[in-house]
Amino acid sequence: MNMIRTAMLLAFLTALFMGVGYLIGGSGGMTIAFLIATGMNLFSYWNADKMVLSMHHAREVDERTAPEFYRIVRDLAHRAGLPMPRVYIIDNPQPNAFATGRNPENAAVAATTGLLQRLTPEEVAGVMAHELAHIQNRDTLTMTITATLAGAISMLANFAFFFGGGRNDNNNPLGIIGVLIAAIVAPLAAMLVQMAISRTREYAADRRGAEICGQPLWLASALAKIARSARQIVNVDAERNPATAHLFIINPLSGQRMDNLFSTHPDTENRIAALQAMAREAGLSGTVGFAAGFSGPWGRARKGPWS
């Protein structure tokens, strides 16, 4: 069912891209837009993870360079029945994390240094379980390609606004009206689809992530901390690449306290309430130690920021 929804989403965004091409250049513009959209879909399928990781200057780590963080991801992946993803750390003071990759066999998870320094091991486990849930649900491919196409639609719309003609001819069938539609309506539609996809998948990933780590309150506590810090600490790379914002567990963009309609993420308080309700249903409390659910040296004293 998830694959069907993904196919429908990509078909809609491709059609929207073609529609913008038609408004700019008629049937010829629509054909060119179709070819561009097809090429972008193929390129994004194979290279989206590399693009996103590069945008945020992520560096790959292993058990030698980040032993505690790497073991958390490894044990969670084992509990989820997933292949071990590549593990990255982003040198950024804002606590946040995301997952990317076209499938579970070619996936990666990334966390900022701010997240590893500010959260407890239990909270980090909750966050990474959430990201592994996105991988298991195959959300990462959908969300990354959506970001690529939505960004392309916005760029094409800007092109239409600045270079579109005002004539009503075969190359520009609706004249200035078509240009205005392309410049205003198309990117708005793409943005709404992008936000709707992200918001619905965050709730599913929260629930599945809580099941993977075995303690919903770990993730609930982490979300509260990340949300508070994200409003105070600017994520420069995210501000430069806003189309990737919906990939993060919490919106990384500053100054985004807007109405829920225009949020790329569900309301954090609602997410926390859902996780707390899940914990109550399971009879769990927030006092369960990390060693209760995992094997490994979790009880040892920590030496510095996860190194």
pLDDT tens digits for range 86-98: 999 999 999 999 9
Check if 131 is active-site: yes
Q: Is 306 contained in some domain? A: no
At 152-194, the pLDDT tens digits run: 666 666 666 565 554 445 555 555 665 666 666 665 665 666 5
- What percentage of the chain reaches a pLDDT higher than 70? 67
Is 299 domain-assigned? no
**Measuring CA to CA, how many Å separate 257 from each of 112, 135, 167, 264, 266?**
22, 28, 41, 11, 12
Domain annotation covers residue 197? yes
Contact, 121 vs 290, CB < 8 A? yes
List, for residues 57-92, the tens digit of each pLDDT value: 999 999 999 999 999 999 999 999 999 999 999 999
In a domain, 300, yes or no: no
Higher per-residue pLDDT: 38 or 299: 38
Q: Which amino acid is at 211?
A: E
Task: Give a yes or no: residue 74 inside a domain.
Answer: yes
Its domain, for residue 47, covers: 2-291
> Does 296 map to a domain?
no
Binding site feature residues for Zn(2+): 130, 134, 202
Determine, yes or no, domain membership for 307: no
Give the pLDDT confidence of 237-272 residue by residue, as tens digits: 998 887 788 889 999 987 544 444 446 688 999 999
Residue ranges of the annotated binding site are 130, 134, 202
292 falls in which pLDDT band (50, 70, 90)?
A: very low
Q: What is the predicted pLDDT for the residue at 303? A: 38
pLDDT tops 60 at residue 302: no
The most confident of 4-18, 241-255, 289-303, by mean pLDDT: 241-255
Instruction: State how many domains the chain has.
Output: 1
142 or 63, higher pLDDT: 63
Pick from 125, 135, 114, 99: nearest CA to 221: 125
pTM of the complete model: 0.77
Task: Give me the catalytic one of 68, 122, 123, 131.
Answer: 131
Report the DSSP beta bridge partners of residue 86: 108
Residue 255 lies in a domain: yes
DSSP labels, 5-54: HHHHHHHHHHHHHHHHHHHHHHHHHHHHHHHHHHHHHHHHHHHHHHHHHH
Mean pLDDT of the chain: 79
